[in-house]
Chains A and B, each alone.
Chain A
Amino acid sequence: QITLKESGPTLVKPTQTLTLTCTISGFSLSTDGVGVAWIRQPPGKALEWLAVIYWNDDKRYGPSLKSRLTISKDTSKNQVVLTMTNMDPVDTGTYYCALDSPVDDFWGQGTLVTVSS
């Protein structure tokens, strides 16, 4: 059974760096073709893709936040980590990780991050 679970702080202060971890079970990050993406959703607003990392360490970022994001993976722990620098209240929202698969559909439950002083 494939599961993804996001973890990280629920509250960060403006200008701080956010670090989120996606812990995956049921498949290996080193499997050919596997990718894991991060998506966020401000309260009441649309989904926004942030970044994706693939089994071969290829990384892609969304254009609007590219300068603030870093995505990485730890294959030994089967985790994907997203860091976002210089957090602002407009970055408040639910952050999801999801499997990038042509056929399967697996998402984490999401984690709510609030940016406030």
Chain B
Amino acid sequence: DIQMTQSPSSLSASVGDRVTITCRASQGIRNDLDWYQQKPGKAPKRLIYAASSLQSGVPSRFSGSGSGTEFTLTISSLQPEDFATYYCLQHDIYRWTFGQGTKVEIK
């Protein structure tokens, strides 16, 4: 089964900072990777699908890149509403695996 290693597990950043989160897959998954944002008490919300496609309605400061085994979520200029936990999700061959999450906190 495919394992996803997400890093860092947490980070502190200021409004306006550029933030990068990485997920590595234990084997190649083409571009079958999504990124989610979750706020406390809420269901996850998808930001990016197919590694680099922006979900409808999501601000353009969010972007995704990568293919194969290494993927990146970038927030170009962190906004107050972006403080949350972020997860990657691989869904290769009808099996899903989430990363362990990255909590983005206010510095």
**Residue of A with least CB distance to B91:** A100
Stretch of B10-18, B39-47, B71-79 at the chain-chain interface:
B39-47
Known: A47-B44, A105-B45. A60 touches B101 (CB 8 A): no
List the B side residues contacting A96 at CB < 8 Å: 43-44
Q: Among B22-30, B61-69, B92-100, which stretch is in contact with chain A?
A: B92-100
Whether A60 pairs with B98 at a CB distance below 8 angstroms is: no
A46/B94 in contact, CB under 8 A? no
Q: What is the interface size of chain B, counting residues whose CB is below 8 A from a CB of the partner?
A: 21
A37 within 8 A of B: yes
Q: A66-115: which have CB < 8 Å to B? A: 96, 98, 100, 102-103, 105, 107-110
Q: Report the separation of the CA atoms of residues A63 and B89 in the bound assembly, to the nearest whole angstrom.
A: 16
Q: When chains A and B are docked, how far (Å) is the Cα of A52 from the Cα of B98?
A: 14
Contact call B87/A49, Cβ cutoff below 8 A: no
Q: A49-B89, A62-B96, A63-B1 are in contact. List 9 more A-B contacts (CB 8 A).
A: A39-B96, A46-B99, A46-B100, A47-B36, A47-B98, A48-B98, A54-B94, A62-B95, A107-B44
